[in-house]
Structure 1
């Protein structure tokens, strides 16, 4: 089976929708749907239940998904091993991350690493914090960057930093007068939401999860850069870790305040890997450099 067909299948399975998979892959919905139907015809069985709100894997689809994820992972390992046999400093690094790490942390990590390893290629996937672990467990990512909250069995944390979620606002906002901010304070303010899913699980803070579900944002956008601009312009507040706003905080363009919820203030950002998987040397090297950078960013965040 062609690699692109497998990629389409995995993305539709992950999203539960051809339309969402199309948006993520930048491929026409009709092309993805055609390839899924062709795959089902080739295998002689349907792989999805077509339900009113999307596509849901059936038993045959679940079995194929496990095979495909294993195959794709083994292919990447084999490719890295072949690169090592050739004596080249090449390979492919896969990282799944929550969106806030894409502003500075990962771009800087890739820039630095590419200086020493110019032939290395990368797949960087943005995902909701609670979805990152599944990418690592399935082999779709060598490492994940997410909040460390009751990780699934099989994952290990190789580094963590105290970078909790707090309230970000413009310097002139009235909430800057508070040293810690309550959910009731936030309820009365225009809210700018980055993405649709809560960054905090109900397991960590049921109070925050319930509050999030009741929010009516003035803007919802999956671009952190756009949310940043609106915050700086004084159009509302938002909830982020400092890690997404280090530069803006240093320049005095925004102000960050912690919540008055102890559970949220203990939250840490971490790098997770599969505990039973031996990664290619190039991936281990890249993860090692991310570990050092995360520690540096924790120090920088504490200073602003």
Structure 2
């Protein structure tokens, strides 16, 4: 980290920390730098550029339009510096490195930990950090440079995000093998809504697609259980209390062990989302990040996995 600091401008570092914290005093605590020093660097930066970078308010500081542009640039400078330092440290190969992943809960329950474990059997010196967000937040985290790789279900393109891999990921009906619908090859929403449902919160793509499709068809349903914890929703189905909804990748091991069945839904609107592996546009990925991204993509499901 010391090498990283010596290669980046103090003014940019201080500027980014103030932007993140929303105040000079809080940035001072995080950086262990005097508030006056940070204030001088920010003022000098504004004088050099010739425009205010922050709007000073009674409750703190927020970026101006010019500040937003500079922040995007400064984050890319820091990421590129980090990459160069990492490449210098790892000239002998993938002996060490760090990969930060932002993803949604569905991927984090089983899939990502399994893939990390498999990767570390080959490259044991690579360390990982995994943080969980809503699908919309994943892209924001990548955009801000707080994670190297984003893995999320997406409905629409995201600005400043480069998609390394995109794969359709329809929503499936998850049920106990003894459920009345478990013997069917496909089911419709009108059939599903006749049974108690365990549903996630509206900030998930599963719930958004379900709400749109049921509203369009004017379907009434019994939401027996709602939670922001996907494992609890799946357990509702495991215990044969009703149905849950999920993508294949989130319940793969439950299906493989025979604890649930995952059945395709015939309504077209339930299949319009994609799995995306996301990185920041314009960023040259560190060697460890690119290597793991390639490894990850190689383990994502093919088109016909749930047909």
Would you call these one fold, judging by a TM-score over 0.5? yes
Preserved contact between residue 258 and residue 265 of structure 1 (Cα < 8 Å): no
Deviation at 1:234, TM superposition (A): 1.6
Unaligned runs of 5+ in 1: 14-33
Change in CA separation of 1:37 and 1:217 when aligned onto 2, cut-off 3 Å: farther
1:78-100 alpha-carbon deviations (Å, 9 max, x no partner): 44134235766111112222221
Unaligned runs of 5+ in 2: 1-9, 43-53
Preserved contact between residue 164 and residue 269 of structure 1 (Cα < 8 Å): no
Change in CA separation of 1:163 and 1:225 when aligned onto 2, cut-off 3 Å: same
> CA RMSD for the aligned pairs?
4.2
1:241-278 alpha-carbon deviations (Å, 9 max, x no partner): 01111111122211122222224335432322334211
Deviation at 1:198, TM superposition (A): 2.9
Change in CA separation of 1:87 and 1:101 when aligned onto 2, cut-off 3 Å: closer
Picking from 297, 302, 306, the partner of 1:298 is: 302
2:6 aligned residue:
none
Partners of 2:221 and 2:148 lie apart in 1 by: 35
1:7-53 alpha-carbon deviations (Å, 9 max, x no partner): 8974x88xxxxxxxxxxxxxxxxxxxx94796899659887886xxx
Deviation at 1:280, TM superposition (A): 0.6
- For residue 94 of structure 1, give the secondary structure of its aligned residue in structure 2: strand
1:172 aligned residue:
178
Preserved contact between residue 174 and residue 234 of structure 2 (Cα < 8 Å): no
TM-score, normalised with respect to structure 1: 0.70
Residue-pair matches, total: 275
Partners of 1:239 and 1:228 lie apart in 2 by: 8
TM-score, normalised with respect to structure 2: 0.69
Partners of 1:56 and 1:186 lie apart in 2 by: 50
Deviation at 1:216, TM superposition (A): 7.1
- For residue 90 of structure 2, give the secondary structure of its aligned residue in structure 1: helix
1:83-129 alpha-carbon deviations (Å, 9 max, x no partner): 23576611111222222111232112211222222222222222222
Picking from 134, 155, 158, the partner of 1:149 is: 155
1:259 aligned residue:
265
1:54-86 alpha-carbon deviations (Å, 9 max, x no partner): x99564985786477446534532441342357
Point out the more displaced range, 125-134 or 186-195. Answer: 186-195
